[in-house]
Amino acid sequence: MTDLIRRHLDLGERSYDVLIAEGGIEHLGEYLQKISIKGKVAVVTNPKIDRLYGERVRTSLQAAGFDPLMIHVPAGERYKTPRQIGKIYDQLISNRFERSDTLIALGGGVIGDMCGFAAATYLRGIAYVQCPTTVVAQVDASIGGKTGVDHPEGKNLIGAFHQPKLVCSDPTVLKTLSKREYRAGLAEVVKYGVIADASFFSFLEINAKKIHALEPESILHCIDRSSALKVEIVQSDEQESGRRKILNYGHTFGHAIETLTGYSKYRHGEGVAIGMVLASRLAERLGLLDPVALKRQIALLEAFGLPTDLPSLAPEDMLRVMASDKKVVGGEIYFILPERIGAVRIMPIKRKELSAFLKSLHRSHS
């Protein structure tokens, strides 16, 4: 195992550590002991992830004195529904889980969201631990306590803030991701450079080939720097009343694209990549962003093999879905728009302006 990197998220009594280490997944039981987790534990995962990592996690937990219950949910965003959460409750109830027991999310962002939401709502809240296995989950979704499920009208419309007790990220598990899944996760890494750290963005540009090829040292730095930025932002605004909103960069457009394509055509990161480009094009249209910064961002996303073009979706459909987004305030749709690499602003865009922008994009693609 490589040296353990520890990032502490200070939220008073809800504080916890983000641990990053190659081989860390095999020390999960030991980590739980150190933070005094006791009682029953259930691992929420899907069958594929269980086949890949389940045995190592079970062995580690058993060595630490736990007897883990394995709860399977189907793989994929389209199963992130209240119905599937009900099936998790069924197993917790039949196995007599109590408020002193703990859930473990073993998987990507979908598993983390579902496990976290089940933990937030079962018996009015029990403990959970994040053990993320995708890039998106390691650099973003597992940190910060956002949990939830989707509704046919939009992503994550049903949810709760519920902080985990621990996040354990093991970069070695990323080697078993499909190339597409791995690339999709890099969109969230690029996001951090655009919203908060110009020098990190430059690091990504310089090391794009190494990162694309899963070179261990570069990947470790990507996970650590992204995690550190997420920790710092969440610490300053736990429940997204202000600064934390910048983490939604690219997501309003991206979620609309995912929703309108049935959560099946695009991976989450692919939707975010397109969404970031759209947000940057909107910023350029409004005179906020220099065209060179837009080109740098498109070039980096394309170097990681990510899509940057808006699919053929009707502007009125995009507007309808974005109007039900959870980031709408007082009927106005708020966007995170870059002013330069490393700095963004949060601002409302009138629907008339947004409609004109989407129609101009639609015309240029038709």
Asked about 267 being catalytic, the answer comes back as no
Intra-chain end-to-end CA distance of the chain, in Å: 52
Q: Nearest to residue 130, comparing CAs of 118, 148, 112, 144?
A: 112
Element (H, E) at 158: strand 154-161
To the query of whether residue 240 is one of the catalytic residues in this protein, the response is yes
Given the residues 83, 96, 124, 363, select the one marked as catalytic: 124
Let me know: does 271 contact 257? Beta carbons within 8 Å: yes
Please list the residues that pair with 20 across neighbouring strands: 5, 169
Point out the catalytic residue in the list 248, 258, 270, 296: 248
Specify whether the CB–CB gap between 291 and 298 falls below 8 A.
Answer: no
Residue 292 token pair? 């060179």
Catalytic residue among 183, 244, 281, 296: 244
Residue 36 has which token pair?
């005094």
225 is catalytic: no
- Which one from 80, 165, 251, 281 is the annotated catalytic residue? 251
Which residue among the candidates 7, 58, 80, 188 is catalytic per the annotation? Answer: 188
- Distance in angstroms (rounded) separating the CA atoms of residues 205 and 211: 10
Annotated catalytic residue: which of 7, 40, 58, 146?
A: 146
Q: Is 243 a catalytic residue?
A: no
Please confirm, yes or no, whether 320 is among the known catalytic residues: no
Q: Say how far apart CA 308 and CA 118 lie, in whole Å.
A: 34
- Catalytically annotated residue among 58, 162, 268, 296: 268
**179 an active-site residue?**
no
Residue 188 annotated as catalytic: yes
230 is catalytic: yes
Catalytic position from the list 27, 155, 230, 296: 230
Two tokens at 102? 């703990």
Is 212 one of the annotated active-site residues of the chain? Answer: no
Catalytic member of 240, 267, 270, 281: 240
Give catalytic residue positions. 124, 146, 188, 230, 240, 244, 248, 251, 255, 268
